[in-house]
């Protein structure tokens, strides 16, 4: 990485990898025959503060979910979204009772659902030792962009 802020990007990357490891998102397994793994890639983003300065460097490991096939490595497609109506009701109640509302930033996000299907994902580049480079990640939990 040849960016001026490369040390901050690497810190964000290490933070994500430590979190994924401690939450047992995947286990490394040998390459099964006749299995086409889902790829993955890193997405980097600068989070801006109120004064338009960079307040945080975010790294996110996402699956290349567009390579998944129905009835092969996925059964159902989920799209977790927040509904606007409950949020507006909560804001209206808070305004009515003159309550303070606090915003919270979650450092590491997980969909927290265990995967029933066997989904194999390629390892991210440079994450393992030479003796484990031929292994795949058997996903235990869902990650971003996974169907």
pLDDT of residue 126: 58
Question: pLDDT, tens digit, for every residue of 21-65?
Answer: 788 888 888 878 888 888 888 888 888 877 888 888 888 888 887
pLDDT of residue 110: 54
Question: pLDDT, tens digit, for every residue of 72-128?
Answer: 555 555 555 678 899 899 999 999 999 998 877 666 555 567 787 888 888 877 566
User: Would the pLDDT of 9 be above 60?
Assistant: yes
Contacts (Cβ under 8 Å, ≥6 apart) of 80: 111
SS3 21: helix
pLDDT of residue 108: 57
The CA-atom distances, in angstroms, between 80 and each of 110, 142, 144 are: 11, 12, 11
pLDDT of residue 25: 85
Contact 63, 35 (CB under 8 A): no
Contact 96, 44 (CB under 8 A): no
Cα-Cα-Cα-Cα dihedral sign, residues 127, 128, 129, 130: negative
pLDDT of residue 71: 55
């Amino acid at each position: 990485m040849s960016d001026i802020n490369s040390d901050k990007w690497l810190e964000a990357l290490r933070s994500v990898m430590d979190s994924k490891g401690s939450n047992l998102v995947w286990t490394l397994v040998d390459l099964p025959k006749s299995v086409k793994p889902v790829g993955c890639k890193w997405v980097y983003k600068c989070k801006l503060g109120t004064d338009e300065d960079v307040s945080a460097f975010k790294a996110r490991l996402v699956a290349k979910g567009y390579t998944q096939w129905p009835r092969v490595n996925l059964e159902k497609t989920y799209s977790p979204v927040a509904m606007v109506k409950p949020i507006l009701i909560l804001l209206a109640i808070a305004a009515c009772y003159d309550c303070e509302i606090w915003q919270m930033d979650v450092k590491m996000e997980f969909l927290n659902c265990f995967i029933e299907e066997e989904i194999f994902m390629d390892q991210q580049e440079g994450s393992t030792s030479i003796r484990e480079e031929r292994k795949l990640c058997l996903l235990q939990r869902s990650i971003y962009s996974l169907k």
